[in-house]
Amino acid sequence: MRPAQKPGARKVSDILRCEAVVVDFDGFKALQGMNLTLRQGELRFLIGPNGAGKTTLLDVICGKVKPASGRVLFRGEIDLTRKREHRIAELGIGRKFQAPSIFPSLTVREHLEIAMRQNRSVFATLTARMSSEDEDRMAAQLKMIGLEAKAGRLAGSLSHGEKQWLEIGMMLMQEPDVLLLDEPAAGMTDRETEKTGILLREIARRQSVIVVEHDMEFVRNFASAVTVMHEGRLLAEGSVDEVQNDERVMEVYLGRRRDADADRSTA
Amino acid sequence: MPFAYWTPRRIWLLVGYAAAVSALLCAPLYLNDFRLNLLAKFLALAVAALGLDLIWGYTGILSLGHGVFFGLGAYAMAMHLKLAASGGKLPDFMSWSGLTKLPWFWRPFESPAFAMLAGVLLPVALALLLGWFTFRNRIKGVYFTILTQALVIITTTLFVGQQAYTGGTNGITGYSTLFGFKLADPQTKVWLYLLTAVVLFAAFALCRYLTGSRFGRVLRAIRDGENRARFIGYNPALYQMTAFCVSAGLAGLAGMLFVLHVGIISPSMMGIVPSIEMVLWVAIGGRGTLIGAVLGAVLMNGAKSVLSETYPELWTLLIGLLFVAVVVFMPRGLAGIAGLPAALRRRRERTDESDGVGTENGLGNAAGAEAGGAEGVRHSAV
């Protein structure tokens, strides 16, 4: 286990820092003192066996789950664990859930329109008008996610992959400083996955990204830094090679795999 | 396609609206006094239906308590009319109940301006109070609906019990003038009808603006996936409260107009049955479409008065059957029939593209979309 970070060692370029986060679901400790530091402009992959607490960590950061203890500091000073979800989103943290969750009765365009970075008060949306600048941005975004031809379609009628892309497009319109993506390539074809990876790299030039991923192939191809979680704790951190050659990681993964194989053979 | 303004569809819509508006404005020319008064009543109720559609059809929150907001508006107007009719003396029902002095909260209603303001603002304030304690605490769905029912029971019980102040079960009736004009005068009735029609147009325009603005899109987003909207950065509670307050205000406005046409308001007109009936108008007309709400209110009440003139006991039976039929066969209500050819065409196009996924929302309707929305919420909640 890596030693906990010293309080004085704060780096200015840290955009997000989780400190000793504990999440307790009625006695089941999903996170048991998880630490994570994300630098500005970093593309970080979060891996680990099932139940390691990866999604729960994202839930804590975006406010969906309130931790029993620990802090999540945004820009070194704002404690996100004390904020409500919409406030966290407004501060600049975007979340994409694993299953595509779009609004079935809104068109693709309308999705981008409401996701766009803007004043989100009732009064502002009552009087909002699309500027030509907004239109341009929207058009560029539609092109980027390849849904230009379907801009007027109801999102409920899109295919699975298109919904995922629409969600990524919405996140980009939000212009968050930190993007939290839960298995963005799940259910995509190889080509779509490739495209997603390239897009992620593109995004990470300006924004910081945390990606939860199971597909090791995808991780190898696109990850610069990897964090491995196990049983609600940080297990290892480093480049893909470092992590893959880490003994504890191998034990966790291979151990699991051996168990799974054993299960399969007895089944 | 989204950039072209004068599409054929838009032109036809405009022609339709113009025809409907002129037909309504000319109604005094071709309807007798009795029918005109009935139509005026229906148009007043349509204002309430618009408000209900805003909160139920567009925001996805079912209120079975709109009778209360309607009733508050109606009572505010009735209090003024009663005071005007009593001519400085104590209203008759108060002296029967043994009061000797006008209660303090009745006094401001001597001013018609105050009464009219109160008729809208009281329902808005009550909606704000209820919304504040529910939406902020994420009480929604059936729990919210049950609370609105409780509100109805509390309010009607209160109004029945406080006979000296509210007229009890009999309610408040026996009016004579508004702004000095005799209410019984046919000429006044025509003006009141026209006023009601204009209020309905204004309410329609307001709802049209609200639902067509980005605010309206956020409302629909909240209806489809409240959590998802939250993670974009919207505070659903504020949007729900706003929609609920506007909705309550429109119901209050409808109540005020209703009293002017009907000449009486009593607790039974704001109780559980009228509250549910309002929901039926919107369901049968087509929730999530404004024109559906208006059509539903006018046609259902029209049918009710025609049928109950001939077969009074049949009406409740029929309304129940109709409701079941609409829910099962026409989830978009009457307004859905107009959109059916386009929906079928879209569905055909989609199957031609053979993407196969998501066709369950082929009708693109509010009800179907909401089912999908609920699914979306479930996913994000996992």
Q: For B364, which of A90, A102, A154 is closest by C-beta distance? A: A154
DSSP letter for each residue of B77-146: HHHHHHHHHHTTSPPHHHHHTT--S--GGGGGGGSHHHHHHHHHHHHHHHHHHHHHHHGGGT--HHHHHH
pLDDT at position B72 is: 95
pLDDT at A152 over 80: yes
Residue A98 lies in a domain: yes
Q: State the complex-level ipTM.
A: 0.81
For residue A11, pLDDT beyond 80: no
pLDDT tens across A188-233, in order? 888 888 888 888 887 888 889 999 988 888 888 887 789 999 888 8
Residue A3 maps to a domain: no
Q: Which domain holds residue A47?
A: 14-265
pLDDT of residue B322: 81
* pLDDT at res. B357: 37
DSSP string, A85-136: HHHHHHHTEEEE-SS----TTSBHHHHHHHHSSS--SHHHHHH----HHHHH
With CA atoms as reference, report the closest residue to B112 among B92, B74, B84.
Answer: B84
In a domain? residue A225: yes
Q: CB A101 to CB B227 under 8 A?
A: yes
Q: Using N-to-C axis directions, what is the helix angle for B33-53 and B290-310, rounded to 10°?
A: 140
pLDDT at A267 over 60: no
Closest Cβ opposite residue B232 in set A104, A122, A174? A174
Mean pLDDT of chain A: 83
CB < 8 Å from B in window 109-138 of A: 109-110, 113-115, 120-122, 125-128
B238 shares contact with chain A (CB less than 8 Å): yes
pLDDT at A143 over 50: yes
CATH code for the domain of A157: 3.40.50.300
Contact (Cβ atoms closer than 8 angstroms) between residue A21 and residue A60: yes
A189 touches chain B (CB under 8 A): no
The domain tally of chain A equals: 1
Distance CA B363, CA B288 (A): 13
Chain A residue numbers with beta carbons less than 8 Å from the beta carbon of B225 are 101-103
Chain A positions in Cβ-Cβ contact with residue B355 (cut-off 8 Å): 159
Is the pLDDT assigned to residue A6 strictly greater than 50? no
Reading the block at residue A207, the tokens are 């924004």
pLDDT tens for residues A71-122?
999 988 889 988 999 999 989 998 888 877 889 999 999 999 999 888 888 9
The verdict on a CB contact (< 8 Å) between B232 and A85 is no
Residue A4 within a domain: no
Among A102, A109, A120, whose Cβ lies nearest the Cβ of B234?
A: A120
Does residue A129 fall inside a structural domain?
yes
Is position A6 within any domain?
A: no
Residue A188: inside a domain: yes
pLDDT in tens, chain B (382 residues): 445 678 888 888 889 889 999 999 888 888 888 889 999 999 999 999 999 999 999 999 999 999 999 999 999 999 999 998 888 888 888 888 888 888 999 989 989 999 999 999 999 999 999 999 999 888 888 999 999 999 999 999 999 998 888 888 889 988 877 887 887 788 888 999 999 999 999 999 999 999 999 999 999 999 998 988 998 889 999 999 999 999 999 999 999 999 999 989 999 999 988 998 899 999 988 888 899 999 999 998 988 888 877 887 787 788 788 878 887 887 777 777 766 666 666 666 655 544 433 333 333 333 333 333 333 333 333 2
Tell me how close the Cα of A41 comes to any Cα of chain B, in angstroms. Answer: 21
Residue count of chain A: 267
> Which of A141-145, A262-266, B247-251 is the least confident region?
A262-266
Q: Which residues of B touch A121 (CB under 8 A)?
A: 238
CB contact under 8 A, A105 and B223: yes
Centroid of chain to Cα A10: 23
pTM of the model: 0.84
Q: Would residue A185 count as lying in a domain?
A: yes
